[in-house]
Structure 1
Amino acid sequence: MRTKTREIAILRFTTFVCLFFGILGVAASQLAHSRSLLLDGLYSLIQSLFILGSGRIVSLLFTSDDQRFPFGFAAFEPFFLVIRSLTLLIMVLSIGFSAFLSLFNGGYAISVDIALPISVLSLLVCAVVYSILKREATKLNSPVLRAESKAWLLDTLLSFASMSAMVIAQIALRFSFSGLMRYIDPCLTLGFLICVIPLLTKDLVQYSKELLGAAPTSSTQTALEKIAYRFVRKYDFLKAEVFASKQGRSLNVLMYVFLKEERPLLQLDAIRLEMLKALYTYSNWCEADIIFTLDDRWVDYNTLPSLQEA
């Protein structure tokens, strides 16, 4: 439970920071007439709302199964992250479209004196928060904190893009390139979005795959197979087949162990417990079913399509 408490405390802290800079960024963007600063502020505002949801998701993951969800709440994590990625992607595309249209309408002037100090402050704070979240996500093995760290990395890059727009605009103003100054902010906004959209799309695809029960990475699959075949060799089983899916931090494993000869039930129960401990050592978010069988003909009829074909 200490892990849960630490995750929620970190999420609460980042919520307040994110909400503050979101409101500050949106307000300053209206005064400075800067879409890059507006993008930064809106991103922070939306992110703060989703961080509140992240705390609820973390609480669910540490909640015992109930009658409504007898197989637990693991799917809630990728489901939440899909919604978050989709919302951020829509927001980014909307602001990008607005910046794109402004290029054909003469651009717009920005007030550097208002926007630049806020962009610099936002850049420094976002970079610090990103570093903290990245470290804690690795330490706690938390997909939620990992997603938050990615979001803060994007927020850091957004602040950098906004600051760059202000600095270039200041240089253009000093050298009397007022006509060029009107196009700096929309061009940098669009340039940044071209880099960000693939990242958000990649996250959306990854979390969607997890939600649909896709297999884990090949390295995870290989590690699970090594665990299985360690016991195959140790107890002289015929073979083992491992099927796995990953949802957020949860790893669901189904393992068929094929016997050479009949063995006592108590012996198999003891071996199953030993195998479960090995799997849990690999991942403390592992849920596993281990099935021993001597006659494997039933395995071929374990799915509805197979039964219909028969």
Structure 2
Amino acid sequence: MTGGREAALFDDVPCIIAETSTLTTRPGVECALYKWRPPSPGSGRIRGIAVVYHGFGAHSLYPTVRYASSLLAENGLMVYGLDLPGHGASPGMRGLLTCVEDMINDGIAVAQYAARENVGDGGEEGVPLFLVGSSMGGAIALAVANRMPSSAVSGVVMLAPMLSLNVGSGSRMALGWLNAIVPLLPIIPSSATRPELQYRDKERRAECERNTLTYKGKLRPQSALTCIEFTTQIQQSFHEVTVPFLCMIADEDVVVDNSMARELMGKSPSKDKTLKSYAALHGLLCEPAPLLGIIEDDFVQWVLERCPR
């Protein structure tokens, strides 16, 4: 890991500035890493650690992801974000998802690094670690928690998670055919990714549209197939989810299928599981007030209730 510079954020949305560096997640794979430090608490002790995972095409400084990270940091958590390969400031073909295992392994690497750094820098054992994810990042957070030791993760928060996609069997067969012939060619359009279908607040939507690091091109067959395979794999692991979790879904979501969020509630043996739904679009943190305040409060309070006082 290297470090030293500060991330340049948008001036019109006040937030805690992220420190930027890099993290080698796998041999030969170096990703952009971000850290949001909380305002210095009186006790000098952080309340917890959080890793925030971004969605497809986005990155750690994308507005929706940054809003979540800044909220947690403002409330006393040390927050980390990683740009997946091909996303944001990380190298790689833009918008390419190589395979499910690569995403999970990258997610585990940053979670382990975040926990290790805070102990190594003089932090205390037992500081809770939370995994947070938006859209595809929600699936990553849940998959990473399932792979890590049960005592390592104190909770998972999923915002409009990609647990299922509305893709029929015919479309899946066509994707498999395209992936065999032109896996890297950006040829698959998606009307569901239009900003007006994801973000209701006009100012926050405009910020998302201005963001130049976001991948806004057509989907590559390999990336689309990886997302579908990821949802299938995560659904098969619902019965193994024992970590405390909060699943926040948008009733008007056209990007992901919410039905599997409810199935997760039924199949997971976790003794601490909560499902909350909102009359919102996919970008939950891009809703106007007063709904935005309700969503933010539900999100932050769930985490703080699981932190030591």
Fold match (TM-score > 0.5): no
**Which has more strand, going by share of residues?**
2
* TM-score between both structures, scaled by the size of structure 1: 0.22
> TM-score, normalized by length of structure 2?
0.22
Larger Rg: 1
Bigger proportion of residues as helix:
1
